[in-house]
Structure 1
Amino acid sequence: MAIINRTPDSFYDAGRTYDLDAAVQACADAVAAGADWIDIGGQPFAPGTPLTPREEAERVLPVIEAVRHQSEIILSADTFNPEVAALSIKAGANAINDTSGLSNPDMAAVIAGSDAHLIITHSLAPPRTPWPAPRYRDISLEVADFLKRKIDQAIALGVAEEQILLDPGHDLNKNTLHSLELTRRLEHITSLGFPVLASVSNKDFIGETLGKDRNERVEGSLAAAVICVMKGARIFRMHNVAPAVAALHLTEAVLGWRKPLELRHNMTSPEPGSTEDLP
């Protein structure tokens, strides 16, 4: 899942894809680099002044419409606003990435009335609201319990089980030790039986662990993604698409899920009588 933020204040790209043409081109570049999915956002989860639904829609919808016109790639809208979600689905989005963890129950009604998927993310604070010094007794079990409750709520409101995906929410209202432990014990989330999204790309838990600034975290992001594969995650929200595709394809090949693109190394039979016949 490639990340395209049409915001002037996104934590990683700092407005690089805020211009509409730049956002659409970034989507095309992500497809060319091997992305299977593009997540398009109009405002960050981080604390700040919320946009109105109209302002957010004006950022997100033109990108969804333009990319849908060009490609059949999976598209999601990164939004916690039900009105923006409904408009995004109408424009061609296949999924809604709700980083607020279904904080607005109306989001379930939007999904229930569509063929779109809903990504339910663990977070504690309301959207764009700080939650200083979060505390957990057992991070992985508490996140799993939160997601179970949100799954039950979504189903009760009409969302089908097959529409639901989960995101444990690395770094969202969590410190670095929390995110590391959540990664180490991710099987508590993947064992819930729903597809799990790992959104680990360039997160602060990687930067703080390695002492790296935001533009120096690619290697750590790839390592975190591979660990999450081994723990059962199946969707990966990544900024640096080409390196992520390479790392994840190799991991899939090792696990037997993907065949190598070519087989040449030590595949040629030796000529009769050559030294290669010697033991």
Structure 2
Amino acid sequence: MAIINVTPDSFSGDGLVGRRDMALRQAEQAIADGADILDIGGESSRPGAEAVGLQEELDRVVPIVEAFANAGVPLSVDTVKPQVMRAVASAGAAIINDINGLREPGAIEAVAATDVGVCLMHMQGEPRTMQSAPHYRDVVTEVRDFLCLRADALKSAGVATERILVDPGFGFGKALVHNLALFADLSRLRDLGYPLLIGVSRKSMLGQITGQPVAQRLAASVAAAMLAVQRGAAIVRVHDVAATRDAFAIMAAIQSHQQNS
């Protein structure tokens, strides 16, 4: 899943708000590099980010969805707003990626009225304050229970199980110790029975471990993506599609050789 940020304040420095042509070129390049899904976001969810108005978010994401509706890869839209969910589903999006786990009033109903897939993510708090003092007694159990409850709420609204993905939300209201605990125990989340989406590309947890700034976290991001897949991730959300694809090709070749030996 390739990240296409149509925002001015992406933590990774790749926001393209107001530069539609550049966003389109970035999406085209991601497809050429081997992206299976494009994930388009018009509202930053970095720590400390301010909320974006409804019309502004629509103006940022709908034109990109319309431009790539027939590009041959599914389009995901990263949003918490039910109105945006309905608009992008009509424009051709295949997945709603909600960092708030569809907790906004009307969000479940908006998704249930469509046939799109939906990714439920765990977040403690909200972007402006989520990293101030995250606290858990048992982060893996608490995240697992939250994802179960949100998936059950979706299914109660008539959403089929096969439409649901889950994401533990690395870095969303979690300190490094919580992120590491989740990563070490991804199998418990995989065993929920929903495809597992993991997004750690360029995140601060990688910087804390390696000491590298955002612009120099490629190696760490690729390593984390490979480890996530080995632990059961079905989808990895990344900035650097080509490098991640190369790493997966190596891993797949070795695994294939082992199986055929």
TM-score range, shorter chain: over 0.9
Question: For structure 2, which runs of at least 5 residues remain unmatched after alignment?
Answer: none
Q: Which amino acid aligns with 2:27?
A: C
CA shift, 1:254, in A, is 3.3
Kindly report which structure 2 residues correspond to 1:14-93, keeping only aligned pairs within 5 A, or say none. Answer: 14-16=14-16, 18-46=18-46, 47-69=48-70, 71-93=71-93
Kindly report which structure 2 residues correspond to 1:226-245, keeping only aligned pairs within 5 A, or say none. Answer: 226-245=226-245
The structure that has the greater radius of gyration is 1
Distance (whole Å) between structure 1 residues aligned to residue 3 and residue 27 of structure 2: 9
Residue equivalent to 2:190: 190
Asked whether 1:169 is paired with 2:169, we answer yes
SS of match in other structure, 2:69: helix
CA shift, 1:184, in A, is 0.9
CA shift, 1:44, in A, is 1.0
CA shift, 1:55, in A, is 0.9
Question: For structure 1, which runs of at least 5 residues remain unmatched after alignment?
Answer: 260-279
Q: Which amino acid aligns with 2:62?
A: L
Cα deviation 1:172-213 (Å, max 9, x = unaligned): 111112111211111111010000001010110001100000
Cα deviation 1:238-257 (Å, max 9, x = unaligned): 00110011112332333349
Distance (whole Å) between structure 2 residues aligned to residue 170 and residue 84 of structure 1: 24
Q: CA RMSD in A?
A: 1.7
Distance (whole Å) between structure 2 residues aligned to residue 105 and residue 116 of structure 1: 18
What is the aligned length? 256
When normalised by structure 2's length, the TM-score is 0.93
Distance (whole Å) between structure 1 residues aligned to residue 255 and residue 82 of structure 2: 38
CA shift, 1:106, in A, is 1.6
Residue equivalent to 2:206: 206
CA shift, 1:66, in A, is 0.8
CA shift, 1:52, in A, is 1.6
Distance (whole Å) between structure 2 residues aligned to residue 134 and residue 210 of structure 1: 22
Q: 1:18 to 1:246 in 2, by over 3 A?
A: farther
Asked whether 1:13 is paired with 2:17, we answer no
Kindly report which structure 2 residues correspond to 1:124-203, keeping only aligned pairs within 5 A, or say none. Answer: 124-126=124-126, 128-131=127-130, 132-203=132-203
Range with bigger deviation, 16-25 or 213-222: 16-25
Distance (whole Å) between structure 2 residues aligned to residue 193 and residue 2 of structure 1: 24
Distance (whole Å) between structure 1 residues aligned to residue 206 and residue 198 of structure 2: 13
CA shift, 1:14, in A, is 4.4
Distance (whole Å) between structure 2 residues aligned to residue 242 and residue 18 of structure 1: 25
8 Å Cα contact 1:38-1:75 kept in structure 2? yes
Residue equivalent to 1:221: 221
